[in-house]
Structure 1
């Protein structure tokens, strides 16, 4: 590893001194840990100082000043990196943090969750990203605030309406916003979460990285223009939170694919859809449902921006149904009658291996870890679109 690498051990990672000068890093809850068995008690302050701002060369020099052998420090950092407890921060991420102690403090708690693959400047990618949220709803505004707090550099909320009392929700619009333009009030909510986020309108010619559609039936709304780039539905329909599909034009099923599946399941669907989109729907969804929907949608957007594999909402939706709000996954494959091109692209691909496309679940117990049960993850299963299938699994 280069001497110019900038190792980062998240400040929240437990670092505990045990018997005979041993040091245990992590491994006290749900994550794997590492037990350093050498007489390494003096390592604890050095490891705690791995904040990503110091190069490996600087860390080695500080250790030498504390009379610690450089080889011991190198071995410890390498072992922590192999265990996934330390990542090397890209210098571009440091430049993207922004000036001032407040920006550094906010970034310090967000950085460990960004892409940790070698050479990936995850924080810089987020700071350079633009996300547009269509609708300052009880889902849209908290979602925009979460994205801004997670490092998205430009977040634009578009809504021509006026705030009503029913729009107020934790992390979003407030009761004091009643009567104000929704877009203005949403910008204030974002600013409270992340003062540095750019809230200005999109410059001419700039295409957002992701557009989030928060109207309940955006797929069927004739007033919604076709979105050229990646876009995600995140809304509450009735009392059920719905996230997805995430549409990558030409590569995954689109919103019209979903409408065609609904039409196949019920020929009356076009008539029903026209009624559902004829008027502005009232605000809906309990606070807990709205916030869980917003957080789940934010995770899908960040996965797209970070480039962390295939998000679970490609060709699928995740539904959060009260009262348990356990996620359910519903498949929406490309429709052969749709002209989006996704069906042809899917036919050209080889069938995936069993379990492909599913997010990883479970943990592996190693030395100095607590034995854990498999993690609860979104489990892929195929159901008939629009109608629940018998034996439908919980996600």
Structure 2
């Protein structure tokens, strides 16, 4: 490993002292649960302090120089660092990641907990991509506001929440709008909720004519919302994240021109039940009341956050690509439902689209990574196959 690497040992990795067979003290790094660990025997005096000081802010050559000054053998320390890297416990930060973080000790402490999951030996750093990204959450709902807060805390630089309504008592949820927000504009109350999680996140609305990296639609029936059609026409990626009845629904993630759109899902529902257009008109005739138990809303928000970060990080094709992930009480175990492009829609150009059971290859050029297709459409009452997630 180059001596310019900036090693970080996450503070969550336990450092445990053990009595060695020869009377010396050994040091176990990690390995307390299912993750790999490393046993250092003997654990030299001061090694715990040295490892705990690996905060990613110093290059390895500086770490080794300080270790030698404190009486450690630099060769032995190098061997320990390399072994920790091989177990995946130690990550190497890109110095530019630190520049992409907000200044101040409190912000640095918050960033420190997020950087390890935004850094990979295989794909490198993803932190700067998150910091430069803009996500719009349409709907300050019991899913939308906690989702926005999670994204901001996870390093997304700009999170804008759109909502023109007033907060009601039923909007309150853990991590989102509070009981004391009743009567306030939802957009302002939502911004306060996000600031509590990440005070320096940019919460400003997007300027006219600019596009977000992703728009999350958190209203109950987003397919009938004119905003969805506008996003499709402008080529803006969008994701549904909501609760319908008591079921959390995440997806489909739509990459315009490459995957099926929200109208495709409606057409599949129509094929399965000709009465669907009349039912949909009633479902979308007014603003849906706040719904879903707290645990369902929060599980939906976290599941959606994982999908959004997968898009921004480019680490692989998200599970919701052309698919919905459903979280049904009481167990909330995820089930997937595949929505292929509908032949009557025309949202995917011929030759660039996806056939039933085929990978949406055009979407991969937008998202990156590998994609394993779900089951083809089947007679499940909604025009697509529902399969239990692994």
The normalised TM-score by structure 1 is 0.87
For 1:85, the equivalent position in structure 2 comes to 89
The answer to whether the Cα contact below 8 Å between 1:22 and 1:41 also exists between their aligned partners in 2 is no
1:226 aligned counterpart, secondary structure: helix
1:271 Cα deviation from its structure 2 partner: 2.0
1:209 to 194, 213, 218: 213
For 2:35, the equivalent position in structure 1 comes to 31
Gaps of 5+ in 1: 359-378
For 1:272, the equivalent position in structure 2 comes to 279
1:237 to 233, 236, 244: 244
For 1:68, the equivalent position in structure 2 comes to 72
For 1:364, the equivalent position in structure 2 comes to none
Q: Deviations over 1:144-185 (max 9, x none)?
A: 111111111111110111111111111111111111111111
The normalised TM-score by structure 2 is 0.88
> Number of paired residues?
372
Equivalent positions of 1:1-395 (< 5 A) are: 1-18=1-18, 19=20, 20-37=24-41, 40=44, 42-117=46-121, 120-222=124-226, 224-227=228-231, 228-341=235-348, 344-347=351-354, 357=371, 381=375, 384=378, 387=381, 392-393=387-388, 395=390
CA–CA distance in structure 1, aligned partners of residues 196 and 83 of structure 2: 40
Q: Deviations over 1:100-155 (max 9, x none)?
A: 11001111111111132467332222111111000011111111111111111111
1:7 Cα deviation from its structure 2 partner: 0.7
The structure showing larger relative contact order (alpha-carbon pairs under 8 Å, at least 6 residues apart) is 1
- Residues 216, 343 of structure 1: CA spacing in aligned structure 2 closer, same or farther, 3 A cutoff? farther
Gaps of 5+ in 2: 360-369
- Residues 341, 94 of structure 1: CA spacing in aligned structure 2 closer, same or farther, 3 A cutoff? same
The answer to whether the Cα contact below 8 Å between 1:115 and 1:306 also exists between their aligned partners in 2 is no
For 1:375, the equivalent position in structure 2 comes to none
User: RMSD of the alignment, in Å?
Assistant: 2.5
CA–CA distance in structure 1, aligned partners of residues 118 and 83 of structure 2: 21
1:137 aligned counterpart, secondary structure: coil
1:305 Cα deviation from its structure 2 partner: 0.9
Q: Deviations over 1:28-65 (max 9, x none)?
A: 11212122345545433222211101110111101101
CA–CA distance in structure 2, aligned partners of residues 248 and 206 of structure 1: 18
Q: Deviations over 1:226-284 (max 9, x none)?
A: 21221110000011110011111222222122112112211222222222111111111
